Amino acid sequence: MASIDYEPKRLAILSISIFLSCIFVSSTGLVAALDDSALLASEGKALLERGWWSQYSNLTSHRCKYWPGIFCDQAGRITKISPPPEFLKVGNKFGKMNFSCFSNLVRLHLPNHELSGSIPPQISILPQLRYLNLSSNYLAGELPSSLGNLSRLVELDFSSNNFINYIPPELGNLKNLVTLNLSYNGFSGPIPSALCHLDNLTH
């Protein structure tokens, strides 16, 4: 009798295991969807709080389609911020921007936008950032050494601003860097020797 009862019990246990696995997969997917939804909401809020794209506030859920200079991936997460200069004059609002919301940002392109103040520290923790162009603005102060944390960075252009003091040697950590332009600033001191070891640097 024991051998006869064994098979139904094993099938019952297997069915329960499959059921629990389905619940786990479903709940994991739900959590991921909620996380994505929260991320999308925080991205839109970060832009609107600083007055950026405020005239498009009634189109928040369609920002990837209707907001000039905003580009997204298939999931709707912002990957590129590149508004035309004639559209957006950010000024000192730039330093108050919560860039930590943009964890999928690949390109930040804001030349000739009358930016002022210092570089927001959150820029240094953007894990996917590859292209950073803040040239031809009024940014000032020292370059933060934390920029050396942007390990994926391919292009860094801070030319024609008002940065001062030394160039941080931590920029030598940017091993993927191809373009580096720090010209027309107020830097002093020697060029860090660490920059000589950027093998991919061509510009």
User: DSSP E strands: which ranges in 22-176?
Assistant: 70-72, 78-81, 107-109, 116-117, 131-133, 138-141, 155-157, 162-165
**What pLDDT does 69 receive?**
83
pLDDT at position 24 is: 42
pLDDT value for 46: 72
Closest CA to 63 of 42, 94, 84: 42
Say if domain 2-197 classifies as CATH 3.40.630.40: no
Q: Which helix (H) or strand (E) holds 17?
A: helix 2-49
CB distance 45 to 71 below 8 Å: no
Domain boundaries, the chain: 2-197
15 dihedral zone (left: phi>0; alpha: psi -120 to 50; beta): alpha
pLDDT score, position 35? 43
Q: What is the pLDDT of residue 94?
A: 76
Give the Cα separation of 62 and 76 in Å (integer). 9
Pick from 131, 46, 40, 44: which is nearest to 77 by CA? Answer: 40
For residue 31, the model assigns a pLDDT of 33
For the sheet containing 131-133, what is the strand order?
70-72, 78-81, 107-109, 131-133, 155-157, 179-181
Dihedral (Cα; 132, 138, 143, 149), 10-degree rounding: -20
Residue 174 φ/ψ, nearest 5 degrees: -85, 75
The answer to whether the predicted template modeling score (pTM) of the entire model surpasses 0.85 is no
Residues 6+ apart with CB under 8 A from 167: 143, 182, 187, 189, 191, 192, 195
Per-run averaged pLDDT (10 residues), the chain, 203 residues: 54 50 40 46 70 61 72 89 74 75 93 89 94 96 96 97 96 96 95 92 83
What pLDDT does 99 receive? 85
Q: Which helix (H) or strand (E) holds 187?
A: strand 186-187
Q: For residue 82, what are its two tokens?
A: 């590149």
